[in-house]
Structure 1
Amino acid sequence: MIFGLGYTAGFYAAEACSAFARVTATKRAPEIEAADRLQLLPFDGASEKVDPRLLAGLREGDALLVSAGPDEAGDPVLRRLAAEVAAAPKLKKIVYLSTIGVYGDHGGAWIDETAKTEPSNRRSRQRLAAEQEWLNLATDARAVYVLRLSGIYGPGRNALLKLKDGTARRLIKPEQVFNRIHVADIAQAIDACFLRDAPGGIYNVTDDEPAPPQDVVTFAAGLLGVEPPPETPFEETPLTPMQRSFYGENKRVSNARMKRDLGVALAFPTYREGMAALAAQGE
């Protein structure tokens, strides 16, 4: 079962979850209801109605991936289906996709899963609360994994495409770094939770090298053989409040537990391998 078939969960469903004979996934307004072994059903956490096929899928499912984000009213899945998820007779593994944004700002320091969580915006506070709700569903027979994802890139979402469409920028904020992860490596981590005997709990899912964002754009420009956009000082660049909030958090996030306990060997340990592969694929 997948709640919220967005970019990451959609990649996992299409490219990675070969271990499962059948996948039921939800979107608010799906355009199709079935494709190969994927059954796509409607689900809206703001609606009182729940498709009976979804309830049947929950009763049959043995693995649950939750990608739907929370809102002011909390987690949309648990708001409507907490009792059904808790009572699902065959459900052995739950994976909840969260964000490293729950840590807030740590002044560029290295942190791991034991770091203090000080979310600096409403979105991250909602995520942190939803994490705990899902972790509370763990039992002796059911493991719950919270994967805190860093900045996601991959096919259709990367600096190469931004350079091509003219939206790439090189904002310079001294000492600023961002953490990132290729969507294929997220899929690896999800599979590791479902298919291996790893302990439940919280895992950071990020690559090996937090890096200044302008370095990624410069490297991508080199792959395309084009000049990178000019450097612009952060303070002089018009940004939306959400964009500016990203630059208000600076941290280097460790993936040691993911490697140790989940056994994930990154296909793209830094942005350089990831961008080079995307360029070779035509992006």
Structure 2
Amino acid sequence: MNLFVFGLGFTGRRFAETARGRFGAVRATVTEAAGAEHIAAQTGFTMRAFGPNADDPHIADDLADSDALLVSVPPDAGGDPVLPHYGEAIVASRIGWIGYLSTIGVYGDQGGAWIDETTPPAARSERTRARLAAEASWLALGEKTGKAVQIFRLAGIYGPGRNPIVKVREGRSQRIVKAGQVFNRIHVDDIATTLLASLDRPRPGAIYNVADDEPTPPQVVIEHAARLAGLPPPPEVDFETADLSPMARSFYGENKRVRNALIRDELGVRLAYPTYREGLAALAGE
């Protein structure tokens, strides 16, 4: 059984490394040939370049020799970048399980209400509307072919080397306060656990929210991270005057509490890090 990953970034790589023992071969893409060579040397994976300026000619053959496919490449200005290039190769392949990594951002702003997979998406930004369109394209491929396509809508991802403790230590953290604002998070290892559970229990057309148990105000998480780092928390900054990129500011425009019962009840997932407290405690010694 072989795995192909479009987009071996933070999450895709963690999953591939966790699942290595399940697969005879792991092949994956990054956007540049130089990056592919570097990661191949680090991981032992067969790496290909696929992006705006690269398209390795071996990818079609790799797909023909794969049984599972993880797609972690975001839409670009033209939509999903994988299907126009490799949709036919995927249809013709023996791939039976396809996981598409999306975002809980497709639900838009829910005014802080609890939501689950039955909540209609309300994407407000061009970015999240593109995500919804990409989801629909992959689900349509599954309906057409009978391949088990699953959508995983991820909360804010953190893990080794990429978490609030690192930001506090490096002086890059802001303790932004916006009344009533909460976010869900998810440890990258719990994403990998969920994907592995889906491999064992594929359900064509399934959509899963992959999030922790406790949506929490962002400043509370920063304060906890600072305590674990043995440092004072950064000063509070009012959201209205905070120095934020347009993308970061857009995140604060969406407020929701995400239920994760489906991954527990259907896939049998038990989160190793059900809240930010367990997750950050495990990362404090980095």
2:95 is matched with 91
1:24 matched to 2:27? The reply is yes
User: Do 2:211 and 2:260's aligned partners in 1 also have CA atoms closer than 8 Å?
Assistant: yes
Provide, for residues 182-225 of structure 1, a one-character-per-residue CA deviation record: whole Å limited to 9, x for no partner. Answer: 00000011111223344541100001000000010111111122
1:169 is matched with 174
SS in 1 for 2:48: strand
CA distance in 2, matches of 1:21, 1:199: 24
From 257, 272, 279, give the equivalent of 1:252.
257
- TM-score, length basis structure 1: 0.94
SS in 1 for 2:46: strand
Structure 1 residues 226 and 51: CA distance shift in structure 2, 3 A: closer
- TM-score, length basis structure 2: 0.93
Give the counterpart letter for 1:42 in structure 2.
Answer: A
- Any residues of structure 2 matched to 1:75-224 within 5 Å, and which? 75-88=80-93, 90-139=94-143, 141-198=146-203, 200-224=205-229
From 61, 64, 77, give the equivalent of 1:59.
64
* CA drift at 1:233: 1.4
Provide, for residues 19-38 of structure 1, a one-character-per-residue CA deviation record: whole Å limited to 9, x for no partner. Answer: 11101101111334444651
CA distance in 2, matches of 1:42, 1:109: 41
Provide, for residues 80-122 of structure 1, a one-character-per-residue CA deviation record: whole Å limited to 9, x for no partner. Answer: 111111111x111000000000000000000001112111211
From 2, 5, 9, give the equivalent of 2:8.
5
CA distance in 2, matches of 1:13, 1:82: 22
Structure 2 unaligned blocks of 5 or more? none
Provide, for residues 150-194 of structure 1, a one-character-per-residue CA deviation record: whole Å limited to 9, x for no partner. Answer: 000000110101111111111111110011000000001111122
User: Do 1:22 and 1:37's aligned partners in 2 also have CA atoms closer than 8 Å?
Assistant: no
* CA drift at 1:10: 1.2
Give the counterpart letter for 1:67 in structure 2.
Answer: S
Runs of 4+ in 1 over 6 A off after TM superposition: none
CA distance in 1, matches of 2:264, 2:204: 13
Structure 1 residues 81 and 229: CA distance shift in structure 2, 3 A: same
Structure 1 residues 170 and 50: CA distance shift in structure 2, 3 A: closer
CA distance in 1, matches of 2:177, 2:111: 16
CA distance in 2, matches of 1:185, 1:55: 30
User: Do 1:199 and 1:261's aligned partners in 2 also have CA atoms closer than 8 Å?
Assistant: no
* CA drift at 1:18: 2.1
Give the counterpart letter for 1:146 in structure 2.
Answer: I
* CA drift at 1:131: 0.3
- Name the count of aligned residue pairs: 278
Give the counterpart letter for 1:104 in structure 2.
Answer: G
Compute the RMSD of aligned alpha carbons. Answer: 1.6
Q: Identify which range, 109-118 or 135-144, moves more after superposition.
A: 135-144
Paired-residue identity, %: 53
* CA drift at 1:138: 1.4
Q: Identify which range, 116-125 or 201-210, moves more after superposition.
A: 116-125
Q: Identify which range, 154-163 or 114-123, moves more after superposition.
A: 114-123
From 39, 43, 47, give the equivalent of 1:40.
47
